[in-house]
């Protein structure tokens, strides 16, 4: 306990990300100094130097973001932005929303993401329902992959502990009117026992393999018009142990996801309106041998976005969407259960700047097949003060629609489920400086009509609107430039989360999370970094208290070679109750640039 208090105290006087970036996560290109949202940007250079093996390793460096995993090396990971529950945050890659209608919470399995072809990550914290709809009630992670007209090809090879082998590539270029961006990866490992091997005498290693392929092709008809096609193909296979003990058979889980998007872009009315019309199709298939059914989810979505440059200081975004969702459960007796729903949406969002003041206002209307219309709105404002200090704030409403699974599960499904609703606000202060920069945010969420499982598993499955909760806290980030070689980045998040019906803490939501990264860069050829992460106590199912833990990693970069040591303290801990985590492990990578 004393160690955790000391570690937290040491982070208080420290901080992060003062650079000014151009971001597009709000579907309007703007500077980070002119967005009222609390936003964090991670660049390609930061990703490559981090030595991260997974998206989880990268994203948890951001204050306010926490990911819990059921085991490691491919185990199911649950994303929480500012304590928002699973399925409350949306992942978007190059404008393609990574949804999974076969998932009970309509949540994307973030553990399946490939990190080899990423150019920039933008994390919008707080409700983004106005422009992204239902699943963005807690926040949005926008990923931009590498895109360039210059011919570039990179290949990376990795080998390490647990008989881990990985290969990834990315390639960009153009010829005549066609430009392309290609990427892919292959990852295989013997893994560890998903169920904590210290709790059982017959632990087995749970292997994991994954293949990712991505393509983005663009044909430029003229300076004003283009047609683009993108595809994401994912296939993975994982041994996953039972809840009570390790299993030697019947615990294989497979996951296949195919996503396609076609977009026609043009400029109209003397370039005052940028029009993007797109059609996206998603097909997900999942099979777990421990369950009597397989699941398949399909999404078909038509979207029109119009960016209207009204005048130099005013930009408006208009959007129309139609989203069709379908889920099929196929049981071992060849019985199929097919359910579907659809959502029609319209929204407008405006961005206004005047001298040092900026202002955002948005409104959205959704028509869901399962219930009547639902409205959300958002207002934000900010001020650029002397010495580049920024003060900003947002207030927003959000919602999370009941999923097909929640509406139709069991013998007595609840077709009267209402959407979970939220009201949230935050205040952010940014104080940039070449030596020591600081960013401090306070946030507050109030949720009502939260959907909760109220049945008995396998006997009387059912969901109801019974929960209300409040989540509030603050995020602190500090970036120190100690000298021309050393930098020290730190983040600390305090989250207070309560179920207003029971007074209990929300599950899987630690009060304290801290991360400290010390980086040494001698020149462009050599760098080294040490990272420590502290996760405070939290509660799992049955209000089981999970102890806090402190883990550390080290990474060394020399020209095209990277060496990484994970869990350098060889700490024994559990991220989720009963699930295992890796001991100290080693990885070596080589990057080839063609």
Query: What CATH class has 152-593?
Result: mainly beta
pLDDT of residue 410: 63
Taking the C-alpha atoms of residue 323 and residue 333, their distance in angstroms, rounded to an integer, is 31
Contact at 8 Å (CB) between 558 and 588? no
**Under 8 Å between Cβ of 358 and 331:** no
Helices (H) and strands (E) in the chain, counts: 5, 33
Q: What is the pLDDT of residue 6?
A: 38
| Residue 230, CB-side half-sphere exposure with 13 Å CA sphere | 23
Q: Give the integer Cα–Cα distance in Å for 332 and 507.
A: 33
Q: What CA–CA distances, in Å, run from 317 to 248, 306, 349, 399, 501?
A: 54, 6, 5, 20, 39
Mean pLDDT per 10-residue section of the chain, whose length is 594 residues = 38 43 84 91 86 82 88 80 90 88 84 84 94 92 87 93 94 92 93 82 83 94 95 89 58 87 95 95 85 84 96 94 90 74 95 94 93 91 94 96 83 78 96 91 95 72 86 96 92 94 90 95 90 94 91 95 95 89 94 89
- Residue 542 contacts by C-beta under 8 Å, 6 or more apart in sequence? none
H/E element, 348:
strand 336-354
Q: How large is the C-alpha radius of gyration of the chain?
A: 23
Between β-strands 139-145 and 89-93, what pairing exists: parallel, antiparallel or unpaired?
parallel
b/e map of 281-319 (b: 16 or more CB within 10 Å)?
Answer: ebbbbbbbeeeebbbbbbbebebebbbbbeeeeebbbbb
Is residue 241 a contact partner of residue 141, using CB atoms and an 8 Å limit?
A: no
SS (H, E, C) 245-303: CCCCCCCEEEEEEEEEEEEEEEEECCCCEEEEEEEEEEEEEEEECCCCEEEEEEEEEEE
pLDDT of residue 249: 57
Please report the pLDDT score of residue 46 as a whole number. Answer: 86
| Pairing status of strand 152-160 against strand 164-175 | antiparallel
Rounded Cα gap, residues 143 and 91, in angstroms = 8
Sign of CA dihedral 291, 293, 294, 296: negative
Q: Can you tell me which residue has the tokens 């009315």?
A: 269
Token code pair at residue 32: 């980070």
Q: Where are the alpha helices (DSSP H) in 395-454?
A: 404-408
Q: What pLDDT, on the 0 to 100 scale, is given for residue 74?
A: 79
- Which pLDDT score is estimated for 408? 81
DSSP string for 163-183: TEEEEEEEEEEEETTEEEEEE
Alpha-carbon torsion, ordered 532, 535, 536, 540, to 10 deg: -160
What was the pLDDT predicted at 35?
92
User: Contact, 370 vs 417, CB < 8 A?
Assistant: yes
Q: What is the largest CA-CA distance in the chain?
A: 72
Helix (H) or strand (E) holding 48: helix 44-50
Looking at the DSSP bridge assignments, the partners of residue 2 are: none
Beta-carbon contacts of 207 under 8 Å, excluding residues fewer than 6 positions away, are: 188, 189, 190, 191, 237, 238, 239
pLDDT of residue 7: 38
Distance of alpha carbon 385 from alpha carbon 354, whole angstroms: 13
Neighbour order of strands in the sheet with 38-43: 38-43, 118-125, 139-145, 89-93, 96-97
Determine the Cα–Cα distance for residues 191 and 239; give it in Å rounded to an integer.
9
Predicted confidence at residue 456, as pLDDT, reads: 67
Tokens read off for 11? 């982070």
DSSP string, 517-570: EEEEE-SSSEEEEEEEEEE--EEEGGGEEEPPEEEEEEEEEETTEEEEEESTT-
Question: Is the torsion defined by CA of 16, 19, 23, 26 positive or negative?
Answer: positive
Q: Which one, of 119, 108, 122, 101, lies nearest residue 27 by Cα?
A: 122
| pTM as predicted | 0.91
**DSSP assignment, residue 135?**
G
């Amino acid at each position: 306990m004393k160690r955790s208090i000391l570690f937290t105290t040491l982070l208080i006087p420290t901080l992060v990300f003062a650079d000014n970036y151009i971001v597009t996560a709000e579907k309007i290109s703007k500077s980070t100094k002119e967005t009222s949202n609390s936003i964090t940007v991670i660049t390609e250079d930061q990703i490559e130097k981090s030595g991260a093996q997974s998206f989880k390793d990268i994203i948890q460096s951001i204050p306010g973001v926490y990911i819990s995993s059921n085991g490691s090396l491919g185990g199911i990971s649950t994303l929480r932005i500012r304590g928002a529950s699973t399925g409350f945050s949306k992942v978007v890659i190059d404008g393609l929303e990574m949804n999974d209608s076969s998932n009970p919470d309509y949540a994307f399995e973030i553990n399946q993401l490939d990190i080899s072809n990423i150019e920039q990550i933008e994390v919008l914290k707080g409700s983004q329902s106005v422009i992204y709809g239902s699943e963005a009630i807690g926040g949005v992670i926008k990923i931009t992959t590498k895109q360039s007209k210059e011919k570039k090809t990179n290949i990376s090879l990795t080998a390490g502990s647990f008989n881990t082998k990985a290969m990834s590539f990315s390639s960009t270029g153009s010829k005549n009117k066609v430009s392309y961006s290609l990427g892919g990866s292959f990852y295989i490992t013997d893994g560890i026992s998903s169920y904590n091997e210290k709790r059982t005498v017959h632990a087995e290693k749970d292997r994991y393999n994954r293949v990712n392929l991505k393509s983005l092709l663009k044909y430029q008809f003229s300076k004003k018009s283009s047609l683009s096609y993108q595809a994401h193909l994912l296939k993975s296979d994982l041994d996953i142990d039972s809840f009570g003990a390790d299993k030697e058979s019947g615990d294989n889980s497979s996951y296949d996801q195919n996503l396609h998007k076609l977009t026609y872009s043009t400029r109209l009315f003397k370039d005052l309106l940028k029009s993007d019309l797109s059609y996206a199709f998603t097909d997900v298939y999942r099979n777990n041998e421990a369950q009597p059914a397989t699941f398949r989810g399909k999404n078909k979505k038509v979207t029109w976005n119009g960016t209207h440059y009204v005048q130099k200081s005013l930009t408006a975004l208009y959007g129309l969407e139609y989203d069709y969702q379908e889920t099929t459960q196929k049981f071992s007796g060849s019985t199929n259960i097919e359910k579907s729903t659809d959502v029609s949406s319209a929204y407008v969002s405006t961005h206004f700047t005047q001298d040092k003041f900026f202002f955002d206002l948005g409104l959205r209307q959704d028509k869901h097949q399962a219930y009547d219309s639902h409205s959300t709105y958002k207002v934000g404002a900010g001020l650029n003060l002397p010495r580049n200090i920024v003060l900003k704030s947002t207030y927003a409403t959000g919602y999370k629609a009941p999923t097909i699974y929640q509406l139709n599960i069991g013998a007595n499904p609840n077709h009267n489920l209402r959407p979970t609703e939220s009201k949230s606000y935050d205040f952010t202060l940014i104080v940039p400086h070449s030596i020591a920069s600081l960013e401090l945010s306070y946030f507050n969420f109030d949720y009502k009509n939260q959907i909760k499982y109220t049945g008995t598993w396998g006997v009387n499955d059912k969901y109801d609107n019974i929960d209300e909760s409040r989540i509030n806290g603050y995020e602190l980030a500090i970036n120190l430039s100690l000298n021309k070689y050393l930098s020290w980045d730190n983040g600390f998040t305090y989250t207070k989360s309560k179920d207003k019906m029971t007074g209990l803490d929300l599950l899987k939501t630690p009060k304290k999370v801290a991360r400290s990264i010390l980086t040494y860069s001698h020149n462009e050829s050599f760098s080294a970094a040490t990272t420590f992460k502290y996760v405070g106590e939290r509660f799992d199912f049955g209000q089981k208290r999970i102890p806090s833990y402190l883990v550390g990693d080290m990474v060394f970069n020399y020209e095209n070679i990277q060496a990484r040591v994970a869990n350098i303290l060889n700490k024994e801990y559990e991220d989720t109750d009963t699930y295992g985590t890796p001991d100290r492990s080693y990885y070596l990578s080589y990057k080839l640039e063609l």
